[in-house]
Amino acid sequence: MQILKFEHLDSTNNHAKTLIKEGKAKNGQIIYAVAQSEGRGQASNTWESEPGKNLTFSLIIQPNHIEPKDQFLISQAVSVGIWNYLKSAMGNESIHIKWPNDIYVNLKKIAGILIEHHIQNNQILFSVIGIGLNVNQTKFSEKAGTPTSLSLITTMQYNVETELDTLATSIVNALDSLQINNGKDCQSQYLKHLLFLNEEREYTVNTKKITGKIIGVNPFGQLQIQDKNGAILEFGFKEIGYIL
């Protein structure tokens, strides 16, 4: 792991992608910004983070053992790595992975993941794994949804760079575990920590409500829900909404 620290960047994912374009990117490099002015989230959302208080970084990997069709494995491993880190940091809280890859503590979002793959000739040359983890921030803007942070949960103050080392190590370990058993162990960890797994819940699909149980995720990363009639429905990102 090599950590490149910047006082200010527009987006650590953008910077990582520039390094890739310039041929300067290396497996295991971490781009960490103390302040990020244009943090990007999934589905063109923005990512809010008070300068110096949280972790906003991108890990660059060269996952040459993973085919593009199996890219959701990377998402699963990163989610599991963050879950393991949080479990050590705050064992007694209710920590879950909200499909596809948001991390929630006590039903509030503590971390988000934005992964961007650089694919050529049906090979993943690089993956840029962007992570935002709320650490010491305790006030958030109204448009941030229902966020939480390590400090809000434990009332402790953290050294963000120490947390970066511990978190990045946990993520790299989870990514390494993909090489064992075709990633099956990592997939079962992901499922075990999935929010609302096997619970009968209501979800929104377009403007309608459906009732069903999450039973798994298919190899393409689509969420599988069994409805009241026993039918298995599959949803891509943004095709289904949770009611928390």
The residues that touch ligand BTN, with contacts defined as CB under 6 A, are 11-13, 39-42, 45, 47, 56-58, 102, 112-114, 130-132
Question: Which residue number, 31 or 89, has a Cβ lying nearer to ligand BTN?
Answer: 31
Phi, psi of 172 (to 5 degrees): -65, -40
Spatial contact of 52 and 155, defined as CB atoms under 8 Å apart: no
Write the DSSP assignment of 79-146 as a string of letters. HHHHHHHHHHH-TTS-EEEETTTEEEETTEEEEEEEEEEEEETTEEEEEEEEEEE--S-----GGG-S
Nearer to ligand BTN by Cβ, of 59 and 66: the residue is 59
Residue 45 or 64: the one with the smaller Cβ distance to ligand BTN is 45
Minimum gap (Å) between residue 177 Cβ and ligand BTN: 22
CB of 109 to ligand BTN, least distance (A): 7
> What tokens does 67 get?
């085919």
107 Cβ neighbours under 8 A, 6+ residues apart: 94, 146, 244
Residue number, 102 or 212, with CB nearest to ligand BTN: 102
Least Å distance, CB 43 to ligand BTN, is: 7
Beta bridge partners of 225: 214, 233
Least separation in angstroms between CB 133 and ligand BTN: 8
Residue nearest to ligand BTN according to CB distances in the complex = 112
At its nearest, how many Å lie between ligand BTN and the CB of residue 151?
A: 18
For residue 139, give the nearest of 77, 222, 48 by alpha carbon. 48
Nearer to ligand BTN, 35 or 197 (CB): 35
